[in-house]
Structure formats: structure tokens, C-alpha cells
Amino acid sequence: GFLPLQGHVVRNWKVRWFVLLQDKLLYYKIEGGKKEPSPKGRILLDGCTITCPCLEYENRPLLIKLKTKTNTDYFLECCSREERDSWALDITGAIHAGHPVQVQELHRMKNSFKLLENISLLDIVEKMYDSSTGIKLTRNLDQGNRYKETFTGSALVDWLISNSFAVSRFEAVTLASMLMDENFIRPVGVRSTEATRSSDPSEKFLDDSTALYMFAESSKKNTSSKEEVHFNISELSGTIVKQGFLVKQGHKRKNWKVRKFVLRADPAFLHYYDPTKEDNKPVGGFSLRGCLVSALEDNGVPAGVKGNVQGNLFKIITKNDIRYYIQASSKAERVQWIEAIKPLT
């Protein structure tokens, strides 16, 4: 699948197509909408160590770090926590392929639930406040309101795991719920506040990138002014239905570039992002109301499509007759995207 990779010489981010084998991770460049036949590089997994979650980059919370036995660091970025954890589990399985006992231990730890004995919530909170190694506080928008010094539920879960306060995400969510019950942290915004009303204790804290929390003594929300917001809040406030990397044809130059697509409902919008950029703002998007979406045949190059593309194409025509040509990585993925988009048109 597609993953952004940080370069070794120039520390920029490039999207590559990754193929995981038993002993190595290959990555390919995409040219003209088609994967090149020879790999651009390879990561040998023998003696590799993996860090997930990796919190070394504040603006990239979904990283996996691989350190080879020659001490070369590779940083890979995923689209979602589910995708990140899936890649990390598969890569770890490949690293320990010759050691079945370690693979069994990995699965046992992933599914285990055992809080540390005599754990001190005060110690955790104190470390959370640390300016260099603590939880990163950011400004966030929710329902048109701007909140200062907040963190997301998934960011706290990642931080608890990376600091060895929890082994699994389930354990970290339980620990975060304890912090909330003891009034060390509190929910802010609609999603996290509504979750506290759940009758199920395991659902009161959300391991979610759209659920906002802050320290209980932090300042209250400030309503943002129009001058502070440089994008349409309403169209970015919908519930995320699906997200992933797809290849999109440009409108002017007709070249193909990998973009991170995010499909939202209520309101129904499809936005796409440049995964090599740091600001995490969409570079384009459109309303899905009145759109037509359909698969394109793989035999030959359809009209309107330029380049020697791989296949698995689909087309979206907006109500203003703007045509978007998008390429999935497989027929199954193309079907999944079309089926997700159609009910929102």
C-alpha cells in the first residue's frame, strides 16, 4: 500500500508504494500513474526494531519508526490508527518470522489487559505536563469553536503506550478513563462530551482523533473569529466515513499524484491532502451532493485519462460537471470507495 516515507539525505516526505515480504520491506516510485518495475529502495528487516506509536514528529501522530541493525532510521506515516497498527503488527510479525514464540508473545501483549500495580495517576499527570516529553497541546476546532491547549483521545492513547504506562490500546483507554474519572483531564467539544453520557464505562473515553480533551484546570474555550480560520469549518466538521491513499490525475498538467483522501458525511464532502506537506490542510475537495461516481474499464486508457496508468480507475463527476479521475490500488479497494461514496451523493 501507499505510505509517506521520510528521505535520508533531504529530510522531506515522499509517497511510496510499499510491499512487505518475509525478510524485507520494498518501496517503489509511482511515475505517470504506474508503479515502476524496480524498487526504489528496500528495508532489511533482520535485526530491525520497530517503534509504534512513534511521537517524534508533533504534526505526524500516525508514524511507524523502523531502525535497522545498521542504525538507519525509517519513518513511515499511515492514514489512520487502524492502518498504522495493522502495518506495525504485520511488520513485527515479519521481523520475528523465525521466532514463533515472539510472535505469540506479541499477540498476547496486544490483547492483554493488566494495569500496573500501585500505578500513580499523579505521576502520569506530572509527566504529561512535561514541556519536552509530555503530551503535546494544540489548538483545535470543534463545531466552529476554537479550543486552546487541547489534545485528542488518540494522541493521549499513543502517549501512554509510548511512555510504557500501557501495553495495549484497550489498556491505555482504561487508564485515560481513570484520569478523567479522577478529574485530571476533562472532555471538551461535542464528541468527547457526548461520550461521557454512555452507560458503558469503556465507551466514556474515546480513542479517536476527533475527540478533544484538556487538563481539567486549563482555560476554557474561545470562540474563533472568521479571520483565524482559513478554511471552511462546516465542510470539514462532518463525520469521517473513509480515508486512504489514492492516486489522482491533476486538472491542468494531467499528471498523477498520490493524495490522502478523506470522505466525510453530514455534510457530504470528499477532500484530498498532500501527504508530503506538514500543515495537514486539504489541497482540494468538493461537495458530493449531485455527484455521479462510476468505475472505469481497465482495458485501454479511457477518454480524459492521460498516462500509462496501472488500472483500477474510477470517475467522479460533480454537479458542476468537473471530472475527477482517481486510481485505487486494487479492484477491491475501488469497489469499497465507490460503495462508500454513492450513498452520499
Which of the four pLDDT bands, split at 50, 70 and 90, describes residue 219?
A: very low
- Grid cell, residue 164, equals 510504557
Q: Do 181 and 241 meet the contact criterion of CB atoms below 8 Å apart?
A: no
Query: What pLDDT, in 10s, does the model give residues 158-168?
Result: 999 998 888 88
User: Residue 77: pLDDT above 90?
Assistant: yes
Average pLDDT, the chain: 83
Give mean pLDDT, residues 136-156.
84
Q: H or E element: which one contains 4?
A: strand 2-6
Residue 304 is predicted with a pLDDT of 75
pLDDT at 202: 67
Amino acid identity of 82? E
Query: Does residue 173 contact residue 115 with C-beta atoms inside 8 Å?
Result: no
Q: How far apart are CA 245 and CA 78, in angstroms?
A: 9
Instruction: Decide: helix, strand or coil at residue 169.
Output: helix
Separation of CA 93 from chain center: 21
Question: What pLDDT band is residue 301 in, cutting at 50, 70 and 90?
Answer: low
pLDDT of residue 178: 83
pLDDT at 107: 54
Q: What is the C-alpha separation between 61 and 81, in angstroms, rounded?
A: 9
Q: In this model, does residue 224 exceed pLDDT 50?
A: no
Cβ–Cβ under 8 Å, residues 235 and 287: yes
The answer to whether the CB of 298 falls within 8 A of the CB of 310 is no
Least confident of 49-53, 54-58, 261-265, 322-326: 54-58
> Mean pLDDT throughout 300-327?
85
What radius of gyration, in Å, describes the C-alpha atoms of the chain? 22
- The pLDDT value recorded for residue 112 is 46
Give the chain's domains with CATH numbers. 2-111 (2.30.29.30), 121-215 (1.10.10.10), 233-342 (2.30.29.30)
CA 132/CA 144 separation, integer angstroms:
30
